[in-house]
Amino acid sequence: MTLVIALEAKDGIIMAGDTRGTIGDPRGLTAISDVHKKIFELTRFCGIGISGSSELGTALLDGIQKKLSDSKVVFVGEAMSQTRLHVRAIYNDWFSQFPIDKRPVLLLTIAGCDKIEERRVPKIYLLNSQLDYAPMLFDKGICMIGIPQYATYLANRYYDRSMSKENVAALAEFLIAETASQDPKVGGPISIAIISPANGYRELDEKELAQIRQRNDAQRESMKRFFAGG
């Protein structure tokens, strides 16, 4: 399974995802593998997160990236539109013999910046195969796909779109790590990317990720001491 998150900050957008894949019926015993990358650069100012049939999504990704590169698309609105047309056409070709609700489930979160006059405006979209990839715009600054229950609860308590991108990145790590502590279908190393209006898409390196983990672990310990009365 999966948890992929897109969160708007006051100065950019954060995308984050776990790396766990499961094999088998999730209602019973499953095998796990923590090597599944789920967030990717789509264009300079746009990222994409994959949930559902990750292998199918990864197979489609190369074609999507090439199409956008050839057409010189960089901003999120046009990237979403062309991605939708591309994956919808392929799905209708590969799975034409199946009704929509019987096709492999694929969800694509596409987040980044649009250029409106001279401004770079953050936007987050979701494309869902079960809705024939009708574009959905998340105008509250937050989108989660996969297993979002625990993360949604925590985000409702702690998230504010006026937060800086550094603080939102720490929150994204916290949301995924806390979900992984409760649901074994989410887990493995966490990937985080920052999409800034000025510099575009950048994935955090292991040193930066380790610093975020250490900061969050320290906050957890501080909270334990607070409730313990010390």
**Residue 28 confidence (pLDDT):** 60
CA–CA distance, 74 with 50 (Å, rounded to integer): 19
CA–CA distance, 182 with 175 (Å, rounded to integer): 11
CA–CA distance, 38 with 17 (Å, rounded to integer): 6
Backbone angles phi, psi at 128, to 5 degrees: -120, 125
Enter the pTM of the model: 0.93
**Residue 121 confidence (pLDDT):** 93
Q: Where are the domains of the chain?
A: 3-224
Surface-to-core class of residue 202, CB atoms within 10 Å of its CB (0-12 exposed, 13-18 middle, 19+ buried): middle
**Is domain 3-224 classified as CATH 3.60.20.10?**
yes
**Residue 58 confidence (pLDDT):** 87
- Residue 143 in tokens: 């989108």
* pLDDT tens-digit profile, the chain (230 residues): 799 999 999 999 999 999 998 776 656 656 777 888 999 999 999 999 999 987 888 889 989 999 999 999 999 999 999 999 999 999 999 999 998 889 999 999 999 999 887 788 999 999 999 999 999 999 999 999 999 999 999 999 999 999 999 999 999 999 999 999 999 999 999 999 999 999 999 999 999 999 999 999 999 999 999 999 86
Walk across the sheet containing 191-196 and list its strands.
142-146, 3-9, 12-17, 191-196, 200-203
3-state secondary structure of 179: helix
Strand partners, 194: 14, 202
3-state secondary structure of 118: coil
- In this structure, are residues 86 and 67 in contact, taking their beta carbons and an 8 Å threshold? yes
- In this structure, are residues 79 and 174 in contact, taking their beta carbons and an 8 Å threshold? no
**Residue 70 confidence (pLDDT):** 92
Of 145, 124, 146, 144, the C-alpha closest to 135 is 124
